[in-house]
Amino acid sequence: MAAPTAFPSDAMRDALEQWCTHLRAIEGASPATLDAYRRDVTSFLGFLTAHLGGPFGPSALADLHTRDMRAWMAHERASGLSARSLARALSAVKNFSQWLAERHGLEITPILSIRAPRYHKKLPRPLDVSDASDLLQQAGADPAQPDWVRARDTAVLTLLYGCGLRISEALGLTADVVPLGQSLRIRGKGNKERLVPVLPVARDAVERYAALYPGSLPPDGPLFRGVRGGALNPRIIQRAMENLRLGLGLPPTATPHALRHSFATHLLNAGGDLRAIQDLLGHASLSTTQAYTAVDAGRLLDVYQTAHPRAQAAPDKTAVPDAG
């Protein structure tokens, strides 16, 4: 995607930062989400600066037409932005524009009415149960690494699979969680908190790492550390997964996030309740949980027929209707 040549105006720059502050303080947006939204909106405003012929302020948004929005979308696609990324960018632009319109009393229907491009969602690819087990067993088997590093990588990967954590959630843990209890309080996307059960294997893996770590682990500092003592970089775990994947002959879809997919899918396939899994994963929408769990429509129908009261109370279609 081409970088914008200039920012529209100081007023729009300030508005963008105020919007980001609003998202962080009021809606609990994560730093990664804020960075992505800021890039998307900055690119949009940069395009408009060239498209409109110079700097502009908030009121210019009310003068935009559908053709202007389509011109921006065509520009982004021509710059190499995927349909999925463009849909995310459009969502950010609409959110920002609506927030700004409410503050300035603007009518921005052309911006809000433009449709996002269609794209095929990539379904998550969980590991087989046996592959997940093999991967965790091999996580700490590299003799070239110090004992504490092998224990650390094993602990992180065990939390991803055993508790369904995102990698950012696992690496965001502070050392005061050790020793782990029966459950773990996780602050996830949107600053939402949830409780996840902790399996004994995960508890043991974390405690073994903490015992082997050669330095100090202050309670208010990061639990998982790099070799230089700082917070562990996610890339280190991603690289460890790449090595394990190659060693075990697993497909490229075997990523750290695939362990979270596997957690959800294996629970559901074993008879877990979809709503309970939604809570464990911290999803706001059940449809998101359904996408994470790679099960067929028949399995989801079974869950529905077992759990939904209307499905349980459905009349027998073979019964003779009441004449009254």
Does residue 5 sit within a domain?
no
Q: Which of 150, 203, 261, 283 is catalytic?
A: 283
Q: Which of 75, 94, 104, 257 is catalytic?
A: 257
CB atoms within 10 A of CB 87: 16
- 24-82: pLDDT as tens digits: 887 777 787 888 899 999 999 999 999 998 889 999 999 999 999 999 999 999 999 88
Residue 189 bears catalytic tag: yes
Same domain, 149 and 253: yes
- CATH at residue 61: 1.10.150.130
Taking the C-alpha atoms of residue 170 and residue 7, their distance in angstroms, rounded to an integer, is 37
Range with the poorest average pLDDT among 94-103, 211-220, 252-261, 271-280: 271-280
Q: How confident is the model at residue 149 (pLDDT cuts 50, 70, 90)?
A: very high
Q: Which of 37, 161, 209, 292 is catalytic?
A: 292
Over range 207-221, report the average pLDDT.
94
> pTM of the full predicted structure?
0.60
Place of tokens 């990698």: 167
Same domain, 222 and 157: yes
Query: What is the percent of the chain with per-residue pLDDT over 70, rounded to a whole number?
Result: 80
Does residue 21 sit within a domain?
yes
Same domain, 171 and 60: no
> Residue 322 — left, alpha, or beta (φ > 0 → left; ψ -120 to 50 → alpha)?
beta
Q: Residue 179: is the preceding peptide bond cis (ω within 30°)?
A: yes
Q: How confident is the model at residue 292 (pLDDT cuts 50, 70, 90)?
A: low
Residue 104 bears catalytic tag: no
Q: Label residue 272 exposed, middle or buried (CB < 10 Å: 0-12, 13-18, 19+).
A: middle
Query: 3-state class of 279 per DSSP?
Result: helix
Same domain, 137 and 15: no
pLDDT at 211 over 90: yes
Same domain, 63 and 157: no
Residue 283 bears catalytic tag: yes
Domain boundary among 221, 251, 270: 270
Q: How confident is the model at residue 173 (pLDDT cuts 50, 70, 90)?
A: very high
- 2-30: pLDDT as tens digits: 444 456 678 899 999 999 998 888 777 77
Same domain, 154 and 105: no
Taking the C-alpha atoms of residue 308 and residue 310, their distance in angstroms, rounded to an integer, is 6
Same domain, 169 and 258: yes
Q: How confident is the model at residue 308 (pLDDT cuts 50, 70, 90)?
A: low
Place of tokens 């995960």: 202
> Residue 94 — left, alpha, or beta (φ > 0 → left; ψ -120 to 50 → alpha)?
alpha
Q: Which of 152, 194, 260, 261 is catalytic?
A: 260
pLDDT at residue 298 in the model: 54
pLDDT at 310 over 80: no
Over range 303-322, report the average pLDDT.
51
Range with the poorest average pLDDT among 107-111, 286-290, 308-312: 308-312
The total domain count for the chain is 2
Range with the poorest average pLDDT among 19-33, 144-158, 295-309: 295-309
Residue 166 bears catalytic tag: yes
Q: Which of 150, 166, 245, 261 is catalytic?
A: 166
Query: 3-state class of 195 per DSSP?
Result: strand
Residue 317 bears catalytic tag: no
Domain boundary among 51, 84, 113: 113
Same domain, 265 and 136: yes
For residue 157, the enclosing domain spans 132-270
pLDDT at residue 68 in the model: 95
Q: How confident is the model at residue 288 (pLDDT cuts 50, 70, 90)?
A: low
pLDDT at residue 102 in the model: 94
pLDDT at 223 over 90: yes
DSSP string, 54-86: S---GGGGGG--HHHHHHHHHHHHHTT--HHHH
Residue 225 DSSP label? B
Q: Which of 22, 88, 189, 299 is catalytic?
A: 189
Does residue 100 sit within a domain?
yes
Does residue 2 sit within a domain?
no
Does residue 209 sit within a domain?
yes
Over range 168-182, report the average pLDDT.
92
Taking the C-alpha atoms of residue 157 and residue 240, their distance in angstroms, rounded to an integer, is 10
pLDDT at 145 over 60: yes
- CATH at residue 190: 1.10.443.10
pLDDT at residue 295 in the model: 53
Domain boundary among 270, 297, 317: 270
